[in-house]
A and B are shown apart, each in its own frame.
Chain A
């Protein structure tokens, strides 16, 4: 009796340390943030001294044009970044999925940008975008073309380019892995059936890669909503609000405007957005699993 009881409890004992750490490091701050978002709270106060204002912070934000602008920038940034990265990453993977000399070196070089710390990436690009001494404008000037006001007039485009440079490799390596796990003989069958290289991509490769691509895309989307360091270093959200993505606005609201409650409410809006995406990803996985299970059931029925 006692051993049975002990046996039942063993797994929970093993999980206990992780649960304690989760509670301390994740649940506590999260709860703190949600609690704080209902208060008119300024950094000089403890949370207990702050006045409870109910949903006021949320309602204010709902009607705040600056918040709308920031949300819009974030959505635009995420949309462009993820769609362009998907096209480039998958395209590169399709091109480099072959055995030619030096291909492994090439592949390693392609994924280097991903390994550089975001702050360093931000600094690098800031120097390259510099209006007078930056690499790009010096080059344009050198070949006699008009220079571009990268981080001024075209700030959003510039940060999108930098992000694409850094994160295309992520999609590239995942797509390449997906491609290399495709059934070789199905592709050979397609060649015999008369498919050109393009038709193989359209009719066989892409459809078979789709599950991986959907999850990869969602992962990148979640990441794109949270991006902060690169943009902070490159533009600090400027000029104006043109590159002020949500994460940046949250940090500024908390530190510069000293409105912790509003910042917390904004974080919660972002959190809800990300949760929706995560749920979508899980739902997709779940849908695939149930479909696989249904197919399995069909097979067993026949046997």
Chain B
């Protein structure tokens, strides 16, 4: 069992506090993704786990033992950097074997390991090349191979795919997912890309402003975001937000705003009724809206279609609902003409409510 536990982790640079008490527990063999916008503290957290940044307050426990006073080399971890951080003067084989050579392992063992790892990531024919003579994707593989060769208990990834072009990124993402299944290790992965987070993670930790906003499985975060930030951050295209008020009429509970009046049903209605503030934000994902000309008005939005972005099987319609912009994901076959006002039915399970002031989900 190799668990990692962060306890009230705080980081200050001078007077500026960038991490405000991070508490996090990562189980053995878990793939944890820290995700958030730039400056949210995710990389700092990772670098503190790695030992590259000092811990201002709090403690990091690996296997129950505090490690924050240890040098990076004594923490049993391997790391893949955003810019790969290869040693430019060493060839691929030397890069991969650097840690093993420092540890003075027997030569035969090192050679075997290098061949094995190079084979895993498909670098065998490039072993004699220097990093300068490799393409971006190949460098990325070297970085990965170097981390694998170390055989550490913990794998850290600091935005490893963000320097690659879109196509290669998708490919490497798939390879990473495969690798994480094969190599059963603790993996902590930092990214600002929520798609990477969704596809790779056993557990996602969403960070913002130096705080953990929410943690859970990709599905939990997608279906039950705890606040407006998480709701807006996870999912592509992002969730639509419409400001409105809770009103009761015709024997039902409604969210009424500029250009819409949507009835809440079931649990949501009860929650909205009990909520102390009437000022509310209605959240609906683009995929939870469906074109339906004769939908019941209380369960639908009337939208002015302004732009249609064709992306293959799906199209994303950019619409207007009163002053607010609303995106709708529809099948490309849907007959839509720009400039029309159309009715879109709301999936009852896809209604999210947030307090407008605190932005917390109801």
Contacts and interface: CB of A to CB of B under 8 A. Distances in A.
Contacts of A204: 87
B24 interface: no
A192 B87 contact: no
Interface stretch (B28-36, B97-105, B171-179, B195-203): B97-105
A24 to B, nearest CB: 45
B88 A194 contact: no
Contacts of A203: 87, 98, 102
B267 to A, nearest CB: 48
A207 B130 CA distance: 14
Q: Give the interface size class of chain A.
A: 20 to 34
B85 interface: yes
Interface stretch (B61-69, B70-78, B246-254, B349-357): B70-78
Contacts of B73: 191-196
B88 A183 contact: yes
A295 B150 contact: no
Given A183-B83, A203-B98, A298-B133, A191 B72 contact: yes
B135 A189 contact: no
Contact of B71 (A191, A207, A208): A191
Nearest to B47: A188
Contact of B98 (A185, A190, A207): A190
Given A193-B73, A298-B129, A303-B135, A186 B102 contact: no
Given A192-B73, A193-B73, A299-B135, A186 B86 contact: yes
B85 A185 contact: yes
Contacts of A189: 79, 81, 85-87, 146
A192 B134 contact: no
Given A185-B83, A188-B85, A192-B50, A295 B99 contact: no
Task: Tell me what chain A mostly uses at the interface: helix, strand, loop, or mixed.
Answer: helix
A204 B102 CA distance: 12
Interface string B102-131: 110000000000000000000000000110
Contacts of B83: 183, 185
Given A183-B88, A186-B86, A186-B88, A193 B102 contact: yes
A256 interface: no
A295 B139 CA distance: 14
A183 B135 contact: no
B72 A208 contact: no
B362 interface: no
A290 to B, nearest CB: 14
Contacts of B130: 295
Contacts of A194: 73, 99, 102-103
Contacts of B72: 188, 191-192
A29 to B, nearest CB: 44
B337 interface: no
A207 B88 CA distance: 9
A295 B132 contact: yes
Given A195-B73, A195-B102, A186 B85 contact: yes
Nearest to B129: A298
A299 B133 contact: yes
A199 interface: yes
Interface of B: 50-52, 71-73, 77-79, 81-89, 98-99, 102-103, 129-130, 132-135, 138, 146, 150
5 contacts: A185-B82, A188-B72, A191-B73, A299-B132, A299-B134
Given A191-B51, A299-B133, 15 more contacts: A183-B85, A183-B88, A186-B85, A188-B52, A188-B72, A188-B81, A189-B79, A189-B85, A191-B52, A193-B99, A193-B102, A193-B150, A194-B102, A196-B73, A295-B130
